[in-house]
Amino acid sequence: MPSQSAPISQSVPASGATAATAPAPSVPAAPAAPATAAGPEASARSGWIPGTPAIRFGGDYNPEQWTRETWLEDIELMREAGVNLVSVGIFSWALLEPREGEYDFSFLDEVLDLLAGAGIDVDLGTPTTVPPAWFWKAYPQARPVTREGVTLGFGSRGIVSPSSPEYRRAASAIAEKLAERYAHHPAVVMWHVHNEYGAPVSESYDEASVANFRGWLERRYGSLGALNRAWGTTFWGQVYGEWDEVDAPRASASVSNPAHRLDFHRFTSDALLECFVLERDAIRRHAS
């Protein structure tokens, strides 16, 4: 789960949200952390997150699945257990952007304010592992395709083609909106970008992936002659004469060219990394 750290700031949360939030009820302040021994060892530990003198203890928290009354109970139990860091927002895209380009941060505003009031820090997630239903209706071509040619449907997580330009645009947009609003929220100390890149879907054999794969190969090899030599395509008559003859290594009647498959693995890794970098850069424009 790649993350990009952000500084703790005591400034007022960014303004400009599309939905107003009523003042959150006060939550008793967290008990003071026990004193830690001074010296080089303690100083080294504090380098994990600026100002952190102890091991972080917590986990993923998905308040969007529960009522507000449960949030209050959860936060009190966290305080009692000594939880001091939670990841929030990982699966909340449908709530934060209920329609394309329309944002509603009311639920997240309140959750972050409650956690800040309890002294619990937040690793704020970008919710891009689960695009909303409106995304799939508008951009069905972004659905991933398996090696066997099966187009996967909506209703799970991590199910999008990493090469889809529509997905990349939408993911970057929601990441930027989150950073604009919460970069300086007192609870937010880290950024949790996406969630488990490549799981459960990594390779996709959709049209956008195939087109990008051809471009990746051309940049890697420079010529079809170099590609044919590297892949040993004279075996079983696989020689390519035009770039648009090259396909993804789909399921075939027998074993596929291992060099072809290896390069598609490499291409997929680069495509996933490009998705991460787009979101990371969107966050960095607002959170230094």
pTM of the predicted structure, to 2 decimals: 0.81
d(CA 162, CA 158): 10
Residue 8 has pLDDT above 50, yes or no: no
Tens-place pLDDT, residues 86-95: 999 999 999 9
Mean pLDDT of 54-68: 93
> CA 157, CA 116: separation in Å to the nearest integer?
29
Strand 85-88 to 3-5 pairing? unpaired
Strands 121-125 and 85-88: parallel
194 and 128 Cβ atoms separated by less than 8 Å = yes
Beta bridge partners of 194: none
Return the domain boundaries, the chain. 3-10+53-202+275-284, 207-266
Min mean pLDDT across 48-52, 94-98, 127-131 is at: 48-52
User: For 152-161, 191-200, 225-234, which range has the lowest pLDDT when averaged over its residues?
Assistant: 152-161
Integer Rg of the chain from CA:
23
Phi-psi region at 130: left, alpha or beta (left = phi > 0; alpha = psi -120 to 50)? beta
| % of the chain at pLDDT higher than 70 | 82
Mean pLDDT (the chain) is 86
Chain-centroid distance, C-alpha 141? 20
C-alpha torsion angle, residues 129, 133, 139, 142 (rounded to 10): 30
Other C-beta atoms closer than 10 Å to the C-beta of 119 total 19
Fold of 3-10+53-202+275-284: TIM Barrel (3.20.20)
Residue with tokens 């939030």: 21
Contact 186, 30 (CB under 8 A): no
